[in-house]
Protein backbone atom coordinates (compact mmCIF):
# COMPACT_ATOMS: atom_id res chain seq x y z
CA UNK A 1 0.00 0.00 0.00
CA UNK A 2 1.30 3.44 -0.84
CA UNK A 3 1.52 5.41 2.38
CA UNK A 4 0.70 9.10 2.29
CA UNK A 5 2.03 11.96 4.40
CA UNK A 6 0.19 15.26 4.77
CA UNK A 7 0.49 18.22 7.11
CA UNK A 8 -1.65 17.75 10.19
CA UNK A 9 -3.20 21.19 9.96
CA UNK A 10 -3.25 24.39 7.95
CA UNK A 11 -4.76 27.82 8.58
CA UNK A 12 -5.94 30.29 5.98
CA UNK A 13 -8.18 33.30 5.49
CA UNK A 14 -11.20 33.75 3.30
CA UNK A 15 -10.37 34.57 -0.30
CA UNK A 16 -6.89 33.03 -0.16
CA UNK A 17 -5.66 30.14 -2.27
CA UNK A 18 -4.79 27.06 -0.23
CA UNK A 19 -2.34 24.40 -1.37
CA UNK A 20 -2.16 21.11 0.52
CA UNK A 21 0.70 18.80 -0.43
CA UNK A 22 0.68 15.05 -0.01
CA UNK A 23 3.77 12.84 -0.21
CA UNK A 24 3.46 9.31 -1.56
CA UNK A 25 6.98 8.13 -2.27
CA UNK A 26 6.11 4.49 -3.01
CA UNK A 27 3.19 5.08 -5.32
CA UNK A 28 2.65 2.18 -7.72
CA UNK A 29 2.22 2.35 -11.47
CA UNK A 30 -1.50 1.59 -11.33
CA UNK A 31 -2.26 3.93 -8.44
CA UNK A 32 -4.41 7.03 -8.82
CA UNK A 33 -4.42 9.96 -6.43
CA UNK A 34 -7.75 10.97 -4.97
CA UNK A 35 -8.67 13.71 -2.53
CA UNK A 36 -11.64 13.67 -0.20
CA UNK A 37 -13.13 16.33 2.07
CA UNK A 38 -14.82 15.54 5.37
CA UNK A 39 -16.92 17.77 7.60
CA UNK A 40 -17.60 16.80 11.24
CA UNK A 41 -20.19 14.05 11.65
CA UNK A 42 -20.38 13.43 7.92
CA UNK A 43 -18.86 10.90 5.57
CA UNK A 44 -16.00 11.93 3.29
CA UNK A 45 -16.88 13.55 -0.02
CA UNK A 46 -14.94 13.13 -3.26
CA UNK A 47 -13.17 16.29 -4.44
CA UNK A 48 -10.82 15.40 -7.28
CA UNK A 49 -8.80 12.57 -8.75
CA UNK A 50 -5.83 12.32 -11.07
CA UNK A 51 -3.04 10.15 -12.39
CA UNK A 52 -0.47 12.65 -13.66
CA UNK A 53 0.06 16.32 -14.60
CA UNK A 54 -2.83 18.63 -13.78
CA UNK A 55 -6.52 18.04 -13.24
CA UNK A 56 -9.05 20.81 -12.66
CA UNK A 57 -12.72 20.72 -11.82
CA UNK A 58 -15.26 23.21 -10.53
CA UNK A 59 -13.95 23.14 -6.95
CA UNK A 60 -10.23 22.38 -7.04
CA UNK A 61 -7.09 21.65 -9.01
CA UNK A 62 -4.72 18.76 -8.54
CA UNK A 63 -1.07 19.06 -9.50
CA UNK A 64 1.00 15.90 -9.91
CA UNK A 65 4.69 16.12 -10.88
CA UNK A 66 6.24 13.73 -13.36
CA UNK A 67 7.67 11.41 -10.71
CA UNK A 68 4.21 11.19 -9.03
CA UNK A 69 5.83 10.97 -5.58
CA UNK A 70 3.76 13.88 -4.36
CA UNK A 71 0.62 15.80 -5.26
CA UNK A 72 -0.83 19.17 -4.39
CA UNK A 73 -4.49 19.95 -3.90
CA UNK A 74 -5.20 23.59 -4.69
CA UNK A 75 -8.36 25.28 -3.41
CA UNK A 76 -8.88 28.71 -4.97
CA UNK A 77 -10.38 31.52 -2.92
CA UNK A 78 -11.40 29.50 0.13
CA UNK A 79 -14.37 30.42 2.29
CA UNK A 80 -15.37 29.57 5.84
CA UNK A 81 -17.33 26.60 4.51
CA UNK A 82 -14.10 25.01 3.27
CA UNK A 83 -13.07 24.38 6.88
CA UNK A 84 -12.80 20.59 6.94
CA UNK A 85 -10.40 17.67 6.95
CA UNK A 86 -8.83 16.86 3.59
CA UNK A 87 -7.57 13.36 2.84
CA UNK A 88 -5.13 12.28 0.20
CA UNK A 89 -5.66 8.72 -1.02
CA UNK A 90 -3.45 6.65 -3.24
CA UNK A 91 -4.74 3.43 -4.69
CA UNK A 92 -5.58 1.26 -7.65
CA UNK A 93 -9.11 2.58 -8.10
CA UNK A 94 -9.65 0.95 -11.45
CA UNK A 95 -10.07 -2.44 -9.80
CA UNK A 96 -11.82 -0.86 -6.85
CA UNK A 97 -10.23 -3.19 -4.33
CA UNK A 98 -11.12 -1.75 -0.96
CA UNK A 99 -7.88 -2.80 0.68
CA UNK A 100 -5.99 -0.77 -1.86
CA UNK A 101 -7.60 2.51 -0.76
CA UNK A 102 -6.12 3.83 2.45
CA UNK A 103 -7.00 7.04 4.25
CA UNK A 104 -4.26 8.73 6.25
CA UNK A 105 -4.87 11.11 9.12
CA UNK A 106 -5.69 13.99 6.80
CA UNK A 107 -5.09 17.72 6.97
CA UNK A 108 -7.37 19.86 9.11
CA UNK A 109 -7.90 23.11 7.20
CA UNK A 110 -9.22 26.03 9.19
CA UNK A 111 -10.41 29.09 7.28
CA UNK A 112 -10.94 32.33 9.17
CA UNK A 113 -12.38 35.72 8.27
CA UNK B 1 -30.18 9.76 -6.62
CA UNK B 2 -30.89 9.98 -2.92
CA UNK B 3 -27.37 9.20 -1.77
CA UNK B 4 -26.13 6.54 0.62
CA UNK B 5 -28.21 6.22 3.77
CA UNK B 6 -27.32 4.59 7.06
CA UNK B 7 -29.44 3.59 10.00
CA UNK B 8 -29.32 4.29 12.85
CA UNK B 9 -27.29 7.50 12.95
CA UNK B 10 -26.42 6.97 16.59
CA UNK B 11 -26.33 3.87 18.76
CA UNK B 12 -25.47 3.57 22.43
CA UNK B 13 -25.08 0.07 23.78
CA UNK B 14 -23.67 -1.69 26.78
CA UNK B 15 -20.55 -3.79 26.56
CA UNK B 16 -21.35 -7.34 25.58
CA UNK B 17 -24.48 -6.53 23.60
CA UNK B 18 -24.88 -7.18 19.89
CA UNK B 19 -25.58 -4.35 17.46
CA UNK B 20 -26.54 -4.25 13.80
CA UNK B 21 -26.21 -1.36 11.39
CA UNK B 22 -27.83 -0.98 8.00
CA UNK B 23 -26.57 0.70 4.85
CA UNK B 24 -28.63 1.45 1.76
CA UNK B 25 -26.32 2.28 -1.16
CA UNK B 26 -27.07 4.40 -4.18
CA UNK B 27 -29.24 2.30 -6.42
CA UNK B 28 -27.39 0.42 -9.14
CA UNK B 29 -24.04 0.81 -7.37
CA UNK B 30 -22.57 -2.64 -7.43
CA UNK B 31 -19.84 -2.08 -4.87
CA UNK B 32 -20.40 -1.43 -1.19
CA UNK B 33 -17.76 -0.69 1.43
CA UNK B 34 -17.69 -0.53 5.21
CA UNK B 35 -15.19 1.65 7.05
CA UNK B 36 -14.58 2.48 10.68
CA UNK B 37 -13.39 5.88 11.86
CA UNK B 38 -12.16 6.83 15.30
CA UNK B 39 -11.64 10.36 16.55
CA UNK B 40 -8.79 12.15 14.82
CA UNK B 41 -8.14 9.34 12.36
CA UNK B 42 -9.09 8.75 8.77
CA UNK B 43 -11.59 6.04 7.81
CA UNK B 44 -10.22 2.52 8.09
CA UNK B 45 -11.33 -0.11 5.58
CA UNK B 46 -13.23 -3.08 7.00
CA UNK B 47 -14.76 -4.98 4.10
CA UNK B 48 -16.36 -4.63 0.71
CA UNK B 49 -18.92 -6.32 -1.50
CA UNK B 50 -19.38 -6.54 -5.21
CA UNK B 51 -23.05 -7.24 -5.67
CA UNK B 52 -23.83 -9.88 -3.02
CA UNK B 53 -20.32 -11.32 -2.83
CA UNK B 54 -18.05 -10.26 0.02
CA UNK B 55 -14.74 -10.00 -1.82
CA UNK B 56 -12.36 -8.66 0.75
CA UNK B 57 -12.06 -8.32 4.51
CA UNK B 58 -9.48 -6.37 6.42
CA UNK B 59 -7.29 -8.21 8.88
CA UNK B 60 -8.59 -5.65 11.35
CA UNK B 61 -12.04 -7.22 11.17
CA UNK B 62 -12.29 -9.55 14.14
CA UNK B 63 -14.53 -12.61 14.26
CA UNK B 64 -17.07 -10.58 16.20
CA UNK B 65 -17.80 -8.56 13.08
CA UNK B 66 -19.91 -9.90 10.25
CA UNK B 67 -21.33 -8.21 7.21
CA UNK B 68 -23.91 -9.28 4.67
CA UNK B 69 -25.36 -7.93 1.49
CA UNK B 70 -28.26 -10.17 0.50
CA UNK B 71 -29.44 -9.75 -3.08
CA UNK B 72 -26.73 -7.17 -3.70
CA UNK B 73 -28.77 -4.27 -2.38
CA UNK B 74 -28.62 -3.05 1.21
CA UNK B 75 -25.96 -4.30 3.62
CA UNK B 76 -25.83 -4.97 7.33
CA UNK B 77 -22.86 -4.89 9.66
CA UNK B 78 -23.24 -6.78 12.91
CA UNK B 79 -20.94 -6.56 15.89
CA UNK B 80 -21.33 -9.28 18.48
CA UNK B 81 -20.32 -8.97 22.13
CA UNK B 82 -19.41 -5.31 21.74
CA UNK B 83 -16.34 -3.94 23.50
CA UNK B 84 -15.51 -0.37 24.43
CA UNK B 85 -12.86 -0.36 21.71
CA UNK B 86 -15.62 -0.78 19.14
CA UNK B 87 -16.79 2.76 19.83
CA UNK B 88 -16.34 4.59 16.54
CA UNK B 89 -18.13 6.00 13.52
CA UNK B 90 -19.06 3.26 11.06
CA UNK B 91 -19.20 4.53 7.51
CA UNK B 92 -20.70 2.89 4.47
CA UNK B 93 -19.81 3.82 0.90
CA UNK B 94 -20.96 2.64 -2.49
CA UNK B 95 -19.49 2.93 -5.94
CA UNK B 96 -19.78 1.91 -9.53
CA UNK B 97 -17.45 2.11 -12.44
CA UNK B 98 -18.05 5.57 -13.82
CA UNK B 99 -16.08 8.29 -15.45
CA UNK B 100 -13.89 8.69 -12.38
CA UNK B 101 -13.20 5.03 -11.87
CA UNK B 102 -14.52 3.67 -8.62
CA UNK B 103 -15.33 6.96 -6.90
CA UNK B 104 -16.84 6.15 -3.54
CA UNK B 105 -19.93 7.89 -2.21
CA UNK B 106 -20.12 7.86 1.56
CA UNK B 107 -23.11 7.82 3.84
CA UNK B 108 -23.43 9.96 6.98
CA UNK B 109 -22.24 7.15 9.22
CA UNK B 110 -23.49 5.43 12.36
CA UNK B 111 -21.85 6.58 15.56
CA UNK B 112 -21.52 3.73 18.02
CA UNK B 113 -20.86 4.30 21.70
CA UNK B 114 -20.19 1.26 23.88
CA UNK B 115 -20.53 1.95 27.59
pLDDT at A63 over 70: yes
Closest partner residue to A43 among B48, B55, B109, by Cβ?
A: B109
B44/A96 touch (CB, cutoff 8 Å), yes or no: no
Work out the number of other CB atoms within 10 angstroms of the CB of residue B67: 21
SS3 of A82, please? helix
Mean pLDDT for A1-5 is 78
Q: What are phi and psi of B71, to 5 degrees?
A: 65, 15
pLDDT digits (tens, 9 = 90+) for B73-108: 999 999 999 999 999 999 999 988 765 666 788 999
Minimal C-alpha gap between B21 and chain A (Å): 15
A contacts of B8 (beta carbons < 8 Å): none
For residues B94 and B50, is the Cβ–Cβ distance under 8 A? no
Closest partner residue to A106 among B33, B42, B109, by Cβ?
A: B42
A41/B103 touch (CB, cutoff 8 Å), yes or no: no
For residues A52 and A35, is the Cβ–Cβ distance under 8 A? no
The mean pLDDT value of chain A amounts to 90
A9 Cα distance to chain centroid: 13
For residues B95 and B31, is the Cβ–Cβ distance under 8 A? yes
pLDDT at A40 over 50: yes
> What was the pLDDT predicted at B99?
56
Residue of chain A minimizing CA distance to B92: A43
pLDDT digits (tens, 9 = 90+) for B8-67: 999 999 999 999 999 999 998 888 999 999 998 999 989 989 899 998 888 878 899 999
HEC readout, A19-71: EEEEECCCCCCCCEEEEEEECCCCCCEEEEEECCEEEECCCCEEEECCCCCEE
Query: Lowest mean pLDDT: which of A7-11, B60-64, B67-71?
Result: B60-64
pLDDT at A100 over 50: no
pLDDT digits (tens, 9 = 90+) for A17-34: 999 999 999 998 988 899
Between residues B2 and A29, the one the model is more confident about? A29
> What was the pLDDT predicted at A30?
85
B contacts of A62 (beta carbons < 8 Å): none
- Contact with chain A for residue B59, Cβ under 8 A: no
- Contact with chain B for residue A55, Cβ under 8 A: no
Mean pLDDT for A30-41 is 91
pLDDT at A106 over 90: yes
pLDDT at A94 over 70: no
B56/A99 touch (CB, cutoff 8 Å), yes or no: yes
Query: Lowest mean pLDDT: which of A25-39, A63-77, A82-96?
Result: A82-96
> What was the pLDDT predicted at B101?
63
Mean pLDDT for A72-79 is 96
Residue B110, CA distances (Å) to A66, A68, B30, B34, B92 in order: 40, 35, 21, 11, 9
Q: What are phi and psi of B64, to 5 degrees?
A: -80, -10
Amino acid sequence: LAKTTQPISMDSYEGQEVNITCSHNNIATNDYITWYQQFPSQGPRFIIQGYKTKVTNEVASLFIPADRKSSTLSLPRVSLSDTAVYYCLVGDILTGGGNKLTFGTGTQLKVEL
Amino acid sequence: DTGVSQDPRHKITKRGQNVTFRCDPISEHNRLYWYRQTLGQGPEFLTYFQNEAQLEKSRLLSDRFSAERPKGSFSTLEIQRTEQGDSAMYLCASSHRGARGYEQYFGPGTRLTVT
